[in-house]
Amino acid sequence: MKSIVTCKEMKELDRFTMEERGVPSCVLMERAALAVFSEITRRCKKTDPVLVVCGTGNNGGDGIAIGRLLHLAGYPVSVFAAGKPEKMTEETRRQYQIAEQYHVPFCDTFAPARAAVLVDALFGVGLSREIGGLFREIIESMNCSDAFRVAVDIPSGIDGDTGLVLGCAFRADLTVTFAYIKRGLCLYPGREYAGQIVTADIGIYGRWPGIDPCRVFDGSGAGHASDADHAYDAERAYDSERAYDPDHLSDAGSRVHFLVEEDLRLLPRRQMNGHKGTFGKVLVAAGSENMCGAAFFSAAAALRCGAGMVQILTDAVNRAPLSVLLPEALISTEKTEEACKSLFGWCDALIIGPGLGKSETALLMIRSLLSLASDAGCPVVLDADGLNLLSENPSLCTFLGPHVVVTPHFGEMSRLTGKSIRDLKKDPAGEAASFALEHRCTCVLKDACTVIASPEGEVYLNMSGNDGMGTAGAGDVLSGILGGFLCVHRESGLSIPFLSAAGVFVHGLAGDAAAAKSGKASVTAGSILQEVPAVLQKIEQTQKKN
């Protein structure tokens, strides 16, 4: 599991490393330059002309150092220093003086068309204003070039916290970011502008003294040994000197991470002597007239994720097609309160909402099921029309709690919160975290970068998936994966937020596999569903090796 930091957190990490641990800033800058130099030399020929475009801040100092290293390695490099020399920071001025001693070529004329490699070192994570004037012209000219484009730490013009474009932004093929990935590199459009992202260790670490630096969050709140990023027990460390750690609570009240495939090993192995009761039963309240597909995709995904049994509560008109499409599922059509009580007594997890409609019958059914689940603490995935009914009937919010996972896209989130989609997209992580905290539930805010927020302040940004998944039914598949995970792993000790993040990650991996086979434009909900078994099989094979 990897940490994601805000700009303010990154600056504090820099400060702590230099002032509290005594690492000179010039050492960090040299290591940053070496990291970018290494990535460029791995990818580019020694005959490729390189143009490094530098600003006056420390990001520009990184760029000058990169130019020096390339020059000394024999690359045909030139450095263009944009901005007024008197505005250079102390470190950047020092790098400029060193470069002069090594006769690094500086150019007075900006000519990106001559370069095979362009290095953007204009602005770092500290940029907070829109780019205009000469700098805008420079960035737009670089974006028009056919050169291989490399961003130093973050593409210039991208807000390091939100991923929004500040007037204009450099479009990179590769971004080499330092120490920790920044939020703006995960959230769109920043993630698109970043290209491939490489996170380089340059010697900046967060520490809680007295705590094992190899303890990481394992999904339950406990720790285990790993060489991944670090999360620490603040209660144990509070009585000693406090060092800044991005895994601890930020100013926004959230710890932000993203999962990597290695984290999926935390999902428990299936019991060799298990049976359909062991692996649990999922009730899917979904589907209305002409909306049979949503119920199918959700129920099928739950089965593909290992649920022992799945029962679909739907309109009578859907019985025949669902029996053909998914003969493994049980079908129920009685939606009275007594029927809901009986079905609830049968299941271990609930999925409510895909294609359900907003009829009075649907409202009565959802109220009954949510009330029963609230009393019993039964895991619930609330999706699609379940969320629409929630937004139109706020009294249903009393049934939300730590057992509930809500899965809104931005339109549904807008209806739930009363905020515009535009305002929500300014800070999706903060909005999801606020909703989760207010309603004491897990919020899965679906987008190109899905946010998973827990009521305890844990936030995950999902880094799997692709634009091909913007297709009808993909969300229904996700609801089924989430319901399946909550059911199958209900006794694993893993938290609902972690299982939700794992489910979203698996959903994205399946979408990536589908895109690899047919191209992004041809991805369908069915092709995502078909790839889920292969993703889970890969997890199982990894578990067997460990």
pLDDT of residue 146: 95
pLDDT, tens digit (0-9, with 9 covering 90-100), for 371-415 = 999 999 999 999 999 999 999 999 999 999 999 999 999 999 999
pLDDT of residue 38: 98
Which amino acid is present at 51?
Answer: L
Model confidence band, residue 253 (pLDDT cutoffs 50, 70, 90)? very low
Name the class of domain 278-545: alpha beta
pLDDT of residue 237: 25
Model confidence band, residue 295 (pLDDT cutoffs 50, 70, 90)? very high
Lowest mean pLDDT among 209-223, 263-277, 334-348: 209-223
pLDDT, tens digit (0-9, with 9 covering 90-100), for 56-81 = 999 999 999 999 999 999 999 999 99
pLDDT of residue 157: 98
| Rounded Cα distance, 9 and 12, in Å | 5
pLDDT of residue 106: 97
pLDDT exceeds cutoff 80 at 258: yes
Closest CA to 485 of 530, 542, 539, 435: 539
Model confidence band, residue 211 (pLDDT cutoffs 50, 70, 90)? very low
Q: Where are the domains of the chain?
A: 2-200, 215-251, 278-545
pLDDT of residue 235: 25
| Rounded Cα distance, 194 and 183, in Å | 12
Structure letter (DSSP) for residue 448: S
| Rounded Cα distance, 170 and 164, in Å | 12
- Point out which residues pair with 114 in neighbouring strands: none
pLDDT of residue 254: 65
| Rounded Cα distance, 404 and 348, in Å | 13
Model confidence band, residue 249 (pLDDT cutoffs 50, 70, 90)? very low
**Mean pLDDT value across the chain:** 91
Classify domain 2-200 at the CATH superfamily level.
YjeF N-terminal domain (3.40.50.10260)
The contacts found for 508-511 with CB under 8 angstroms, 24 or more apart, are 508/450, 508/462, 508/463, 508/464, 508/465, 508/466, 508/469, 509/261, 509/464, 509/465, 509/535, 510/477, 510/534, 510/535, 511/464, 511/465, 511/466, 511/468, 511/469, 511/474
pLDDT, tens digit (0-9, with 9 covering 90-100), for 146-201 = 999 999 999 999 999 999 999 999 999 999 999 999 999 999 999 999 999 999 99
| Rounded Cα distance, 488 and 436, in Å | 23
pLDDT exceeds cutoff 60 at 247: no
pLDDT of residue 212: 28
pLDDT, tens digit (0-9, with 9 covering 90-100), for 425-482 = 999 999 999 999 999 999 999 999 999 999 999 999 999 999 999 999 999 999 999 9
285, 365 contact by CB (below 8 A): yes
Lowest mean pLDDT among 186-195, 202-211, 245-254, 510-519: 245-254
pLDDT, tens digit (0-9, with 9 covering 90-100), for 28-45 = 999 999 999 999 999 999
pLDDT, tens digit (0-9, with 9 covering 90-100), for 212-243 = 222 333 444 433 323 333 322 222 222 223 34
Model confidence band, residue 546 (pLDDT cutoffs 50, 70, 90)? low
| Rounded Cα distance, 232 and 207, in Å | 8
- Point out which residues pair with 199 in neighbouring strands: 177
H-type helices in 305-424, by residue range?
319-325, 337-346, 360-376, 385-392, 410-417, 421-424
pLDDT exceeds cutoff 90 at 290: no
